[in-house]
Amino acid sequence: GKRNFRKFLLHNKRGTRSFKEQQRVAPLLPIDKRGVRDTGFVVNGQYIEIPEKIPELVVPDLTGFQLKPYVSYKAPEVSQSEFTSIDLFNAVY
């Protein structure tokens, strides 16, 4: 028979197919996005995407790069002074 499951909160990954269909039509709980930010907003039922909110991954081109990803424990220890924000400013400008 029917049971009383109102005290159990069913989030995104939990619940039956009928519950998920009901959530799409009229959500009882806000949809949990697990820390992911939206890249746009909804106006009159239409999703408008904002290009400035889309994350851009900047990856360097490493073709012909001489160094290997592994550093041996036999490598000599290098000591450097602390790299400060002033050093970074001077290196860039």
Best-predicted range by mean pLDDT (19-33, 42-56, 60-74): 42-56
Across the range 45-58, mean pLDDT stands at 92
Question: Using an 8 Å Cβ cutoff, are 48 and 42 in contact?
Answer: yes
Domain holding 35, by residue range, is: 8-53
φ, ψ dihedrals at 42, nearest 5°: -105, 130
> At residue 1, does pLDDT exceed 70?
no
DSSP 42: E
User: What does the buried/exposed string (b/e) look like for 41-67 if buried means 16 or more CB atoms within 10 Å of the residue's CB?
Assistant: eeeeeeeeeeeeeeeeeeeeeeeeeee
* Minimum mean pLDDT range among 13-17, 41-45, 57-61, 77-81: 13-17
Q: Is there a domain that residue 41 lies in? A: yes
Give how many domains the chain has, as a whole number: 1
Q: Is there a domain that residue 44 lies in? A: yes
Predicted model pTM: 0.38
Q: Is there a domain that residue 60 lies in? A: no
